[in-house]
Each structure stands twice: as structure tokens, then as C-alpha cells.
Amino acid sequence: MFTRSLANPGRFLVAGALAGVCAFANASDHLDTAAVIADPASDIGDIYAWASGDGKRLNLVMTIVGGKFSDHVRYEFHVDSGKSLGNTATTTKISCEFNSAFAPDCRLGDIDRARGDASAESGLDGERHRFRVFAGLRDDPFFNNVRGTRAALNVAGAAMVEGAPKDAAGCPHFDARTRAKILDEWRHTDGQAGSNLLAGWSTAALVIEVDLDVLNAGGPLLGVWATTIVRGVTPGHKHHLDDGVPIDRMGRALTGNALIGLFDTEAAADTRKSQYNQAGPADWLAFAPEVGASLAIYDGFDGHCGNQWLADLNAPKAGRYAKLALLLADDRLWVNTDAHACQQYLSAELHQRRVAKRDCGGRTPNYDAVDVFRSLLVLGRTSGVDDGVAHDDGQHSDLKFPFLAPSRPGPR
């Protein structure tokens, strides 16, 4: 099999170097469990989804950490369609299998199929012209000050070990010095200006542009998530999904890696993240209590418990974070296809009742999703927590297929 030799010692050394007090994410969803470290061709780095400016298509991107696709892994996008956030009536699956490096066999449900070499920048059209596919090596658009994040969370973890008190909802009360150090470490890298650990990193990219009228039969709000599945597993296996075992799963940036197993031991975090990655939609909400416990910790980083996004100060203490925990545990990236401008990460979630008048939300390759997400968890607004990295080093597009910048010489 052509991906069995994908072991990348340099990448594994990076992951190992970042192991510390807390077993947290070293990137958005990169190398999050032992299973994907062992087979990085099954490791979803990130997914992106957004509406085209003309309102006719949905753009989808899945990046794969291993740098190549595998002939024993199936790569899937799931697009759920509904009229309100979280409530969907139809589902469309886009599934791709590879039997040579960048030549997939992709099926858009039972509507269209694209087979052949998809490595040209123009992509490969489906037989019925309802979608097109690109598969190849591109610059990884994710940017994040990983070392600063590690340092910030280590400060918080050490303070809790030393006895920082928590309120009844689990929100820690850090002293002023600790709070200042958490936020300062977050925007620096080893005491210097914040730097992007993944600068110059190349990724295998599966890029799909699909006609919206194929996807939105249930309504204009689309919930997008992706999976990688080991092919050819005997039906009846404990984790059976169609004809394979799910290995990795992703919806929103950072949800799984930043909120599952946050301050567990490395072994416990790996076990829990693996369970999370393999869970089907019916089991997602079972992770809400664990997500809520992590949310409580982030809420204390600024010294004000209860100002987190969707925190409910009128709820019983144990339920303060339940609304946001339930929303995030349903780990789908929401795109409002009634709006064609795409400028704000989590826009659909932030403006649920006025969503038709806002932008499409979703996630383009250029969103600073990290700062938006963390600011909402700490301050309850979309800015204010800064990791010192405002954009990627590559020039990506949300308009021109295949969207991601060409790969460049770098740490591959």
C-alpha cells in the first residue's frame, strides 16, 4: 500500500516535544490521537466549508496531515441540511477513495461521480457536472501559536494543581498574576513574538466544489462534518460505519482538541479523543458534560466567571455552561447558504435568530478561527484573546478553486 511509508519523524518529534502538563491539542485537529499518529494518512488536520459568492455552490476542503492519501482509508464529507441551526432534515455524503496517489473515485451520494487524476488545479469534473474535485499537495492554511498555547495552558494547569479555588460551576479563580501570565504566554512563543508552528507546512488537500441545489433540500442551513474511515472492515465490528471503522472526525476548528481531555493525562486524553473521533452523531451529545467542564476552566482565564459566550448565570451553577456545551458537542460546521458573504467564523451560531441577514459563517481558509474561538470562551466576544498569529504565511483564496496556496519548501 502506497501510504505505509508515510512515517514522518520530524512531525512526530514536534508532537512529542509539545507533550506537557496537559494533554491538549498541538494544532486544530492535527495528530490528536495515537491512532492517527500511527497512520497520518487518516488524520484530518482541518476542514473548511463556505458558500460561493454567487450563492450557487458549497466549497469544501479537508486537509490530511500525512501529506498523501491512503488506499485503505475512505475520506468523507457529510452535509446535513435544515431550516434552523441544529435541526436538519436531509443528509448528503460525499465519499472519496484512492487507489493511486492523487486519483480518487469520489461519489456525490447517488447523484454524480468523479474518477481519475484530480491533481490539476482546475480539478476533476463529475460525470454529470454537479461537482468537481481537487486532490493534491497544498500549503496548510491553518495557523496557530501552538507553543504559546501550550505555555498558557501549562500556567493554568499548574495553578489548579497548586489549589486555585473553583466555584460551584467549576470555574477557577486565578489570581491576577496568573491571569496575566496565561494571556501573555498565549500571545508569545518562548518569550518572543508569537509564531505559527505550521508555517510552510504542506498537507494533502481534498477540495470539492458542489452545486448547492444538490445539498439544501432540507433547508438553507448546512451542517458539515468529515470523517476518515479504514476501509474493508468486516460488518458487525463494534465501530461499524457502512463498511469500515471511523478513525478521525472533525467539524469546527479546535472543538475536539481543545475541549476533550483538556487536563487529562496523555493516556487518558488519547483514549477519550479516540472515543470522540469514532462516535457517530447519535452519541455526540454524550460528550457535552466533559465539554462543559473544559468550558468552565477557559471562562476563568480573564478573572470573570460567567462572561463566556452563552454562559447562563440564571441557571443552576452546574448548568451554567450547558447551552454552549450542547452546541459545541454537536460538532458540525454551520454554513448559512442564504448569505453569500463569508467573513465571520461561527456567524451562524452567533446569530441564530437573525441568521438569514448575516454572513454565511462556515470557515474559509483565511478565518482566524483560533482567536475567535478562544475569545468567545474567555471573554464572550469574538476578539480580545490573541495568540500573536493573525494570518497564515501562504496566500489562500476563498474565491478561486482549489483555494489553498501551492505547497512550498518547508517542514514536510
pLDDT tens digits, residue range 322-363?
999 999 999 999 999 999 899 999 999 999 877 777 899 999
pLDDT at 176 over 90: yes
Q: What is the pLDDT of residues 210-231, one digit of tens each?
A: 999 999 999 999 999 999 999 8
In percent, how much of the chain has pLDDT > 70?
Answer: 87
Strand partners, 203: 138
Q: What is the pLDDT of residues 192-206, one digit of tens each?
A: 999 999 898 999 999
pLDDT at 23 over 90: no
Grid cell 500571545 in the structure block, residue:
187
Q: What is the pLDDT of residues 251-289, one digit of tens each?
A: 999 998 899 999 998 889 889 999 999 999 999 999 999
Total Cβ atoms within 10 A of residue 77: 24
Residue 167 pLDDT level (bands cut at 50, 70, 90): very high
CA dihedral 194, 195, 196, 200 (to 10 degrees): 160
* Mean pLDDT, the chain, integer: 88
Q: What is the pLDDT of residues 50-77, one digit of tens each?
A: 999 999 999 999 999 989 999 999 999 9
Cα 115 from Cα 52, distance rounded (Å): 24
Cα 88 from Cα 220, distance rounded (Å): 10
Task: Report the pLDDT value the prediction gives residue 346, as an integer from 0 to 100.
Answer: 96
Cα 174 from Cα 160, distance rounded (Å): 8
Nearest to 378 by CA among 294, 254, 315, 316: 294
Task: Report the pLDDT value the prediction gives residue 34, as an integer from 0 to 100.
Answer: 59
Q: What's phi and psi for 154, nearest 5 deg?
A: -65, -35
Grid cell 488537500 in the structure block, residue:
205
Nearest to 66 by CA among 133, 1, 116, 147: 1
**What integer is the mean pLDDT of 88-112?**
96
pLDDT at 411 over 90: no
Q: What is the pTM of this model?
A: 0.89
- Contact status, residue 259 vs residue 329, Cβ threshold 8 Å: no
Cα 403 from Cα 123, distance rounded (Å): 11
**What integer is the mean pLDDT of 109-134?**
98
Grid cell 456545551 in the structure block, residue:
325
Mode of pairing for the β-strands spanning 112-115 and 104-108? antiparallel
Task: Report the pLDDT value the prediction gives residue 241, as an integer from 0 to 100.
Answer: 45
Nearest to 206 by CA among 84, 29, 409, 41: 41
CA dihedral 372, 374, 375, 376 (to 10 degrees): 90
